[in-house]
Amino acid sequence: MKISIAQLNYHIGNFEGNTAKMIDAIKLAKEQGSDIVCFSELATCGYPPRDFLEFDDFIHLSDECIQQLCAYANGIAIVVGAPSHNLDPKGKNLFNSVYFLADNKIQFVQHKTLLPTYDVFDEYRYFEPAKEWNVVEFQGKKIALTVCEDIWDVGTDDPLYTIIPLDEMQKHNPDFIINVSASPFNFEHAHARIHTVRANVARYQIPMFYVNHCGAQTELIFDGGSIVMSGKGTLVDELPYFEECIRHYELTDVVNATVNSEQPKNKMTLIHDAIVMGLKDYFRKLGFNKAILGLSGGIDSAVTAVLAARALGPENVRVILMPSQFSTGHSVDDALGLVNKLGIAHDIIPIKDMYDAFMEKLSPIFGDLPFNVTEENIQARVRGILNMAISNKFGHILLNTTNKSEMAVGYGTLYGDLCGGLSVIGDVYKTEVYELARYINKDEEIIPLNSIVKPPSAELRPNQKDSDSLPDYDTLDPILYQYVEKRQGPQDIIDMGYDPALVKRILRLVNINEFKRYQTAPVLRISTKAFGMGRRMPIVGKYLS
């Protein structure tokens, strides 16, 4: 038996496009003599469809997609994820299912059992869990079909669920497992994915074919990395990250494999490639191709500009330099150096006169009150207005350049530097931004060295440095990581050796600035806990306030 894995980039609600991709893959698999071709979870409609699942027409179009695929299920079987109808009047109206198509019809449907409701997932909102677990027989083999989360409770010391679907399927003595997944990327996930697949094959002693999504859907990025593993735990193949790919495997070769084939997993390579894909798909799937951003000469906007140029092409990136009376000459020079290196378009719009005009109109109201964050925010909002005006006039998407450390503690101005249609590095801590800059410069100096080595500053008042109001990022970021990613409370973090007053101050800043994050652009997710849909915090709360 020959099995093909089709690791594809789907588009939510683009039934025609998704179906065409799968038909092309089916034809290729047939040419290779495959008996089965496997697609991923909710491949017909894309993942996560969210409340589109509540539209009857959306489900009808998915059903039509399955029927179109049935027409190609002759001489080959098709495994594909799609929503299916719950005909029982009790429970949710839909299942998250995997279909087995052969001889031009639906031969078997297995529903997903474990419906995650943590982090970015909210599947129990829409789907009913499976209550029956069977296998499908094809060409003398018994196949256990599973959907994503159904394998993830094996090999963990802290199970989330009370049932393991494959334990039930094992009663039917399957010969191998196919798992269709839509498993979002984070830079630690590739290791976890291999561990999970290996834990399952160790438990059941049969091979697994694991097929994952590739591509980005707004803030969620899917890295692919589909896996073929023997029943003895040999990693037969790990498909490329961030690329569409179709590969073909003889089952006998998989069963007898002894050589592991694992991809390298460099953190910065993964983060860089994930963000580039996230940018590319956000623009492509929305029908845009040009971006603008404010370029200050600092490291955050420099890294964002490089990533945008690599994702969209330098001809599609335009940067706006908006120096004020507080900007240093070297900041403008650093920004222009990057512009020339990347070959991107730029405009220079000094903002001093605009800032002075605001201050003149406000002076009768402000009176003799001292200069403070108000005047700093006016500068940021002038820049935001200019960026948004150019965005609107030319139909470009404004990219937000705020990093995760700044976003965490509220070190940004609403309707100013927090403007944008997409937050590019909002899940990258400041210390990681430096790592990413050095990674970008690994072969040649692209980001000017001065942008990397100079003390970070918003340049909103004379001689300002971030360290005037924040601890050094080498201290700040580990505390933020423990609170945001690891959900450690203040005493837990203090017990790690951090200053109690500093810990309490930082955690309070995180909590009281939730209202800002609530109003900012979607953040490309590259960590285990990003700001946005996967971190649901109240705006009004007393904890640590």
Q: Assign 469 a pLDDT band (cuts: 50, 70, 90).
A: confident
Q: How many CB atoms lie within 10 A of CB 65?
A: 20
- Listed in order, the ranges of the chain carrying CATH 3.40.50.620 are 270-518
Average pLDDT value for residue range 481-487:
97
pTM score:
0.95
Reply yes or no on whether the pLDDT at 276 is more than 80.
Answer: yes
**In contact, 223 and 185? CB cutoff 8 Å:** yes
What is the distance of C-alpha 534 from the center of its chain? 11
Average pLDDT value for residue range 225-245:
98
Residue matched to tokens 């070190």: 411
CA angle 409, 538, 405 (to 5 degrees): 15
Q: Assign 440 a pLDDT band (cuts: 50, 70, 90).
A: very high
Average pLDDT value for residue range 537-543:
90
Q: Which residues make beta-bridge pairs with 423?
A: 400, 523
DSSP state of 149: G
Q: Assign 539 a pLDDT band (cuts: 50, 70, 90).
A: very high
Fold of 270-518: Rossmann fold (3.40.50)
Is residue 41 among the annotated active site residues?
yes
Is residue 149 among the annotated active site residues?
no
Reply yes or no on whether the pLDDT at 327 is more than 90.
Answer: no
- Listed in order, the ranges of the chain carrying CATH 3.60.110.10 are 2-260
CATH fit for domain 2-260, picks 3.40.50.2300, 3.40.718.10, 3.30.1490.20, 3.60.110.10: 3.60.110.10
Q: Which of 88, 37, 81, 87 is nearest to 62 (CA)?
A: 81
Distance CA 22, CA 69 (A): 8
Q: Select which of 38, 41, 149, 376 is catalytic.
A: 41
pLDDT digits (tens, 9 = 90+) for 56-101: 999 999 999 999 999 999 999 999 999 999 999 999 999 999 999 9
Reply yes or no on whether the pLDDT at 545 is more than 70.
Answer: no
- Which residues have a Cβ under 8 Å from the Cβ of 440 and sit 6 or more positions away? 272, 303, 306, 446, 447
pLDDT digits (tens, 9 = 90+) for 242-256: 999 999 999 999 999
- Which residues have a Cβ under 8 Å from the Cβ of 473 and sit 6 or more positions away? 405, 429, 430, 431, 456, 466
446 sits in which H/E element: none
For the chain, percent of residues with pLDDT exceeding 70: 99
Q: Select which of 45, 65, 148, 214 is catalytic.
A: 148
Distance CA 210, CA 196 (A): 11
Distance CA 211, CA 204 (A): 19
Is residue 112 among the annotated active site residues?
yes
What SS3 class is residue 223?
Answer: strand
Average pLDDT value for residue range 531-537:
94
Distance CA 251, CA 274 (A): 32
Q: Select which of 112, 290, 341, 430 is catalytic.
A: 112
